[in-house]
Amino acid sequence: FSCPGKALLVGGYLVLDQNYKGYSVALSSRMHASISATSLSQQETINNDLLSDHNSVQSPQFKNSTYNYTINLNQDFYSYQLIDKNSNENKFIEQSIESVLAYVQPKKSMKIKILIYSDSAFHSPNDNDFTPKSSSNNLKSFDFYNNSIDNIPKSGLGSSASLVTVLTASLLSLFKQNLFSLNSNLPNEKGKEIIHHLAQISHSLAQGKVGSGFDVASATYGSIMYQRFSPNIINELSFSKKTLSKIKYLQYFEKVVDSAWDYQIDIMSLPPQIKILMADVKSGSKTPQLVSTVLKWKRNNPALANELFEELNKNNLKLIKDLNNLELISKNKDNSESYAEMISYLDDYSIIQLKHLLKLKRESISQIRISLQKLTEQSGAEIEPHSQSVLIGNCYILPGVIGGVVPGAGGYDALALLSHNQKQFDNIDIESIDKKLYTDVTWLELEEQKVGILHEDPINYEGL
Pairing between β-strand 66-74 and β-strand 55-58 as defined by DSSP bridges:
antiparallel
Task: Render pLDDT for 415-446 as a digit per residue (tens, 0 to 9).
Answer: 898 887 555 555 555 455 455 666 667 788 88
Asked whether 464 and 10 are in contact (CB, 8 A), the reply is no
CA dist 403 and 425 (Å) reads: 14
- Given this model, what pLDDT does residue 361 score? 38
The full set of domain ranges for the chain reads 2-267+455-461, 275-444
Tell me 120's DSSP state.
Answer: G
- Given this model, what pLDDT does residue 186 score? 82
CA dist 450 and 1 (Å) reads: 16
CA dist 373 and 381 (Å) reads: 10
**What is the fold of 2-267+455-461?**
Ribosomal Protein S5; domain 2 (3.30.230)
Task: Render pLDDT for 375-403 as a digit per residue (tens, 0 to 9).
Answer: 999 999 888 888 888 888 888 777 777 78
- Given this model, what pLDDT does residue 398 score? 74
Tell me which H or E stretch contains 242.
helix 232-243
Which comes out higher in pLDDT, residue 340 or 2? Answer: 2
**Nearest one of 53, 233, 157, 239 to 407, comparing CA atoms:** 157
3-state DSSP call for residue 36? strand
Task: Render pLDDT for 296-314 as a digit per residue (tens, 0 to 9).
Answer: 999 999 999 999 999 999 9
CA dist 228 and 105 (Å) reads: 28
Tell me 105's DSSP state.
Answer: -
**Nearest one of 116, 102, 118 to 29, comparing CA atoms:** 118
| Identity of residue 421 | N
CATH 3.30.70.890 fits 275-444, yes or no: yes
Number of neighbouring beta carbons within 10 Å of residue 128: 7
What is the band of 9 on the pLDDT scale with cuts at 50, 70, 90? Answer: very high
What is the band of 324 on the pLDDT scale with cuts at 50, 70, 90? Answer: confident
Which comes out higher in pLDDT, residue 10 or 109? Answer: 10
Q: Which residues pair with 33 in a beta bridge?
A: 116
Number of neighbouring beta carbons within 10 Å of residue 154: 16
Tell me which H or E stretch contains 416.
strand 414-419
Give yes or no for residue 463 having a pLDDT over 80.
Answer: yes
Among the residue ranges 24-38, 93-107, 142-156, 409-423, the one predicted with the least confidence is 409-423
Helices (H) and strands (E) in the chain, counts: 16, 14
Number of neighbouring beta carbons within 10 Å of residue 293: 15
For residues 234-241, give the mean pLDDT: 91
**Nearest one of 238, 249, 202, 237 to 77, comparing CA atoms:** 249
Tell me 75's DSSP state.
Answer: T
| Identity of residue 103 | Y
Which comes out higher in pLDDT, residue 41 or 341? Answer: 341
Asked whether 419 and 425 are in contact (CB, 8 A), the reply is yes
Tell me which H or E stretch contains 86.
none
- Given this model, what pLDDT does residue 432 score? 53
Number of neighbouring beta carbons within 10 Å of residue 95: 22
When computed from its CA atoms, the radius of gyration of the chain, rounded to whole angstroms, is 23
- Given this model, what pLDDT does residue 221 score? 97
Task: Render pLDDT for 240-297 as a digit per residue (tens, 0 to 9).
Answer: 988 988 889 989 999 999 999 999 999 998 888 888 888 887 655 567 788 889 999 9
Please list, residue by residue across 352-377, b when 16 or more beta carbons sit within 10 angstroms of its beta carbon and e when fewer do.
Answer: eebbeeeeeeebbbbbbbebbebbbe
